Amino acid sequence: MRCSLARSPRKFLFAVVFVLALCGAVAAQSAADPLTFTFYNPTGSTFTVPGAIDSAGRTVGYYIDGARVYHGFVRLAGGQLTTFDPPGSGFTIARRSTPAGVITGYYLDSANIYHGFVRDAAGNFVSFDVTGALITLPLGMNAHGQITGFYSDTVGAHGFTRNTDGTIHTFDACRGVTTIATSINSTGQIAGYFVDSKKIQHGFLRSANGACRRIDGPGATQTLGIALNDAGATVGTYLDAANVQHGFLRSTDGTVVTVDPPGSINTTPSEISPDGLVVGYFQTGSGGAQGFVRNTDGSYAIINVPGALDTNLYGINRADQVVGNENQSTGVYEGIVFRYVP
């Protein structure tokens, strides 16, 4: 399965929504020590995508059943797995959770309208929409329960934040004509990307007071911000002049470096841990997808589940627990979790 950043800003709108979900990665394992993988699947799943793991070891994501219907799930650190759908949902994507067990994501109703949702630890749902929105898609949430994402109206796409009391604030990053907010940290910094008046995509880092910094990969023609940690280090992808996709890491001092495992031709960093480990997946031009961890010294560990055709890494927490999925010859993608030791 091949995955890459949308080549045209016109195609960007939902690219980030599924870039960490439907995209396969490449396969191989070269970590310093053998890793112990735990495998799981919700009952009836043909494709399981664990999107994130919080500091309590709770994993949230979605799966696709045999009828091609999408459902949310949460898996606790002890292995207990619960599936769920907000009332009226025919399509559910769970995106993030807090250590207290609050989950956010979005769903599609019978009228084909996307709404945001919050699910509390007891399983109760609250649906929400930005006022005047045609669609509302939460993509990120911090440990305090503050949510960010984007919505579209008759003008275009804009960013938003939702506080725990339900109040919603909207914004356009760096005066962009389009804003997609993807991640928020515990200090209220937000990462994502925007489209400028020349229809060029740039990443951004927005502070809690609204100050916005533009991010571009080295020699980039298009840049997409995906995630950030509590220190404000940001990761994402960019396209070069040859339309080759690379990863990037922007450090807290503003330095931007390329993130490309050796031999890669298509790299997607998915998440960055509090201590600066970057996880993601890449392709080499042959075979499937391979997972990777970029260590803080710039070295790489290539992660491949034994026997897998694809290995994709999507999330990492402060205990260096990593979540992702893998595909054996059966064609079913299973969820995986393991602890990475640098």
Distance CA 268, CA 312 (A): 10
- Domains in the chain: ranges and CATH: 9-339 (2.130.10.10)
Tokens of 149: 């994402």
pLDDT value at residue 141:
98
pLDDT of 134 over the 70 cut: yes
pLDDT of 241 over the 60 cut: yes
Distance CA 215, CA 205 (A): 7
Q: Which residues have CB under 8 Å from 59's CB, separation 6+?
A: 50, 52, 53, 74, 75, 315, 323, 335, 337
Distance CA 194, CA 188 (A): 18
Closest CA to 206 of 239, 238, 224, 183: 183
pTM recorded for the entire structure: 0.91
Distance CA 76, CA 73 (A): 10
101 within 8 A of 120, measured Cβ to Cβ: yes
pLDDT value at residue 32:
52
pLDDT, one tens digit per residue, over 10-49 is 333 343 443 433 443 333 335 556 799 999 999 999 999 9
